[in-house]
Chain A
Amino acid sequence: MSEAALATCLLLAAWLASVAGMGWLAGSMPVHAQQVWGRTPSSAMARLLRWLGAASIVAALALCLGADHASMAVLVWVMASTGAALLVAFTLAWRPRWLRVLAPWV
């Protein structure tokens, strides 16, 4: 795989990790869990989702660092998180059930 194609794949993965991470974090919050599943998950499940979310956002940073020079990767990561948070917020506003895909086991 060429270097450019590899960077594109890494960035795509970083973006997906950011969206999933933000989605899991939202799912760990009672209000949003109510929107997504119609009920509040157990506190153990909420903790799991919170950890998954945080880990996924850290993973996104690692992926960004793999794709670009460190100074650039940090900015891409911050802005990807911003974009992901907006996407999750709008999904929660109009199509909250779509986020079920992130945690089919709940």
Chain B
Amino acid sequence: MRARGEEASVTSEFVRSYVITGGRSLPAADDLALHTLVTLAPERTPPLGAGPEVMAIWKLIAGGYLSVAEVAGHVGLPVGVARLLLTDLFEQGHLLRRAEPPRAQNVDRATLEKVLNGLQSLIG
């Protein structure tokens, strides 16, 4: 029990995620996988009446490709919720997406050593 006049601070997220989704059912996970890369299609304007979360995602992905997982992490939403918002944007034609890029190939040790030596002579 708290003393009179003393107010504990609210720590939980203020706007609950089911309000952000509007109570709609969430899209399946295989539609936009965690590592799918998304960015804005060129020359698009944000949809009218877009919520703060959609605008945050819009700003975030305007600068280049980001994975779905990163988008969710940066806007602080559960992945499923971010995926729903991204799916909306995709269905409105605002998004470009592409699969995960191939990993870089390993270079042989001799080349790396040469590069290392070169760099050391440059910046050392």
User: Bound pair: A and B?
Assistant: no
